[in-house]
């Protein structure tokens, strides 16, 4: 039996985060040491509850630490239009029924201690804004020696609609993303375009609903999940691509590029941050540019329909 990869998942659950966590929880390749809730898809208290709910739904004894509720240098601007008021689309978590609580401690400290306690270097999967990771790096700069890589979902390979695009996980807290991208830690970017290929179409969603009780919960989430790029075609599952890279890199096509955070100001004076991708400079990141969608869906449904009977 091959050794499982030790990982931390930093997430703002999130419908597509929930799919990513379902896959990660049930992958034979991954050993999840910690889940840290990141602000983004809603108030941090709701997202922490969502993370705990998902660990209980899948009967996983994985600690959850509550992250930071506000971006480093700006006000929070939640993605409730896309993810619903609860964060989990059309499904609302009853916090009173949760059996577990978030573990005590400041997120940066808990992340740092988890890294130090690991028997090997840890891969961090960032499928939310990077506020927690920025605090970790700023408060514990020696954390870098314990981190194997950071795989993050956000940014774009190309300009979208002919202009820089403020993808949510970076756009919510670009200053935090800048701390991470300039840290010198090995980076793997799962750009938004990948999620536009890796979506569950209407037939897939029907199949999810018919699978089992968990499938019905996910189908309810999808009822109020709005990905504005995929639209009525189905439900994009961007974040699951980041987890899939760890378990099945052989199904991913990658390129090397230089990425950094740049800013632009609109006519009304608002400043936004985005990932600038340059394939002509000395690379500092691996970019996933394509994936085997058939194998991706096969493995998602293998877990949902076979492992979760």
Question: Does position 187 have pLDDT exceeding 70, yes or no?
Answer: yes
Compute the distance between CA of residue 135 and CA of residue 141 in angstroms, rounded to an integer: 10
Is 248 noted as a catalytic residue in this protein?
no
Q: How far is CA 59 from CA 32, 75, 90, in A?
A: 13, 35, 22
pLDDT at 160 over 80: no
- Pairing type for strands 5-11 and 30-37 reads parallel
Exposure class string for 208-217: b at 16+ Cβ within 10 A, else e: beebeebbeb
- pLDDT value at 262 more than 90: yes
CATH, domain 5-307, list 3.90.245.10, 3.30.450.20, 3.40.50.150, 3.40.640.10: 3.90.245.10
Mean pLDDT of 42-49: 94
Please give the average per-residue pLDDT across 289-297, as a whole number. Answer: 94
Does 106 score more than 60 pLDDT? yes
Tokens of 218: 């996910």
By mean pLDDT, which of 156-165, 283-292, 300-309 is the weakest? 156-165
Read off the pLDDT band of 161 (50, 70, 90).
low
Phi and psi torsions of 254, nearest 5°: -125, 160
Mean pLDDT score across all residues of the chain: 92
**Among 140, 196, 238, 248, which one carries the catalytic annotation?**
238
> Looking at residue 233, what is its pLDDT?
76
> Has residue 164 got a pLDDT over 70?
no
- pLDDT at residue 108 above 60? yes
Q: What is the pLDDT of residue 228?
A: 55
Residues 144 and 140: their CA atoms lie apart, in Å, by 9
Which pLDDT band, with edges at 50, 70 and 90, does 85 fall under?
confident
Residue bearing the bigger pLDDT, 145 or 90: 145
pLDDT the model gives residue 3: 83
Residue 102 confidence (pLDDT) above 60: yes
pLDDT at 226: 75
Strands 271-278 and 285-291 turn out to be unpaired
Rounded to two decimals, the pTM is 0.95
* Mean pLDDT on 123-129: 97
Question: In the predicted model, is pLDDT for residue 1 greater than 60?
Answer: no
Strand order across the beta sheet in which 271-278 lies: 64-66, 30-37, 5-11, 122-127, 147-153, 187-190, 285-291, 252-265, 271-278
Nearest to 10 by CA among 143, 198, 165: 143
Instruction: Inform me whether the pLDDT recorded for 209 exceeds 90.
Output: yes
**pLDDT value of residue 65:** 98
Confidence band, pLDDT 50/70/90 cuts, at residue 225: confident
Q: What pLDDT score does 239 carry?
A: 94
**Residue 232 predicted with pLDDT over 80:** no
- Domains of the chain: which residue ranges? 5-307
The pLDDT, as a whole number, for residue 229 is: 60
Cis, peptide link before residue 128, omega less than 30° from 0: no
- In this predicted structure, the answer to whether residue 165 has a pLDDT above a threshold of 60 is yes
From the list 222, 215, 216, the residue with the least C-alpha distance to 201 is 222
């Amino acid at each position: 039996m091959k050794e499982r990869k030790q990982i931390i998942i930093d997430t703002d659950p999130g419908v597509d985060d929930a799919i990513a966590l379902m896959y990660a929880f049930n992958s034979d390749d991954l050993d999840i040491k910690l889940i840290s809730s990141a602000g983004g898809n809603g108030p941090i208290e709701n997202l922490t509850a969502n993370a705990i709910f998902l660990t209980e739904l899948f009967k996983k004894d994985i600690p959850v630490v509550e992250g930071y509720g506000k971006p480093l240098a700006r006000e929070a601007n939640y993605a409730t239009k896309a993810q619903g008021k609860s964060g989990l689309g059309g499904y609302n978590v009853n916090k009173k029924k949760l059996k577990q609580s978030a573990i005590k401690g400041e997120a940066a400290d808990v992340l740092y201690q988890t890294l130090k306690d690991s028997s090997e270097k840890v891969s961090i999967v960032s499928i939310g804004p990077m506020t927690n990771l920025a605090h970790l790096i700023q408060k514990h700069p020696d954390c870098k020696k314990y981190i194997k890589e950071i795989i993050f979902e956000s940014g774009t390979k190309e300009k979208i609609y002919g202009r820089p695009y403020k993808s949510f996980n970076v756009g919510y807290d670009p200053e935090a993303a800048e701390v991470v991208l300039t840290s010198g830690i090995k980076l793997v970017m799962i750009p938004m375009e990948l999620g536009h290929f890796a979506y569950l179409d209407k037939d897939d969603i029907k199949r999810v609903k018919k699978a089992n009780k968990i499938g019905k919960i996910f189908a309810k989430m999808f009822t109020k999940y709005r990905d504005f790029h995929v639209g009525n075609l189905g439900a994009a599952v961007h974040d699951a691509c980041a987890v899939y890279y760890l378990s099945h890199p052989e199904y991913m096509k990658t390129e090397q590029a230089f990425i950094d955070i740049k800013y632009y100001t609109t006519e009304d004076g608002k400043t936004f941050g985005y990932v600038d991708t340059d394939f002509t400079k000395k690379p500092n990141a691996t970019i996933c540019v394509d994936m085997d969608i058939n194998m991706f869906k096969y493995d998602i449904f293998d877990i949902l329909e076979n492992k979760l009977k």
